[in-house]
Structures are given as C-alpha cells and as structure tokens.
Amino acid sequence: MKNFVVIGAMAATLLTAIAAEARPVRPYERWCLNVSEGRGGDVFRCQYATYGQCMASRTANGEWCMLNPELGSEGPPRYYR
C-alpha cells in the first residue's frame, strides 16, 4: 500500500510538471525585462504587452528588454535599408 502512495505522488508530480510546460504564453507576456540579480544571475520578468511598457519599468541601467524566449521565432529576420 505504501508503494502505491509513493508511485501515485511521483506520477502526480510528473504530470503537473508536464502540464506547466504546456501553458501558452499570454499576450501580456510578450516582452521580458532582463534583471541582473548579482553574481552573474539574470531573471526574466515576462509581464509586459509592449516594448514601451517594458522599458518604462526599468529601474537600473543594466536592465534591458527582449522578446519572450518562450515565443520562439516569428519567421525570418527582417532587413531594413
């Protein structure tokens, strides 16, 4: 009986992790603010719908905005003259 409980708990944990990865990116998570946490650690705060919103929320010079890496590529790069 104890083994069934342990196996059930492990299966529930695994299914929860898989379901968390499959969550689609919401429209307001399109832009991420890259915040340096010191000692080389960076954190992405993806909670901005526009680039302007992201840039307005910066609090230090080292912070910068980028497209959410979970979105993937949106087609070929654009070249401007």
pLDDT (tens digit per residue) in 18-41: 555 555 667 678 899 998 877 777
Mapped onto helix, strand or coil, the DSSP state of residue 64 is strand
Q: 53 lies in which domain range?
A: 25-70
- Radius of gyration of the chain from Cα atoms? 19
pLDDT band at 13 (very low <50, low <70, confident <90, very high): low
Q: Name the one residue in this structure whose structure tokens are 């070249």.
A: 79
Does 76 map to a domain?
Answer: no
Closest to 34 in 3D by CA, of 25, 44, 24? 44
The CA-based diameter of the chain, rounded to the nearest angstrom, is 70
Q: What is the mean pLDDT of the segment spanning 36-56?
A: 86
Does 48 map to a domain?
Answer: yes
* Distance between CA atoms of residues 70 and 23, nearest Å: 10
Q: What's the mean pLDDT when you consider all of the chain? A: 74
Instruction: Tell me the whole-structure pTM to 2 decimals.
Output: 0.54
Does 13 map to a domain?
Answer: no
Number of domain units in the chain: 1
* Distance between CA atoms of residues 16 and 11, nearest Å: 9
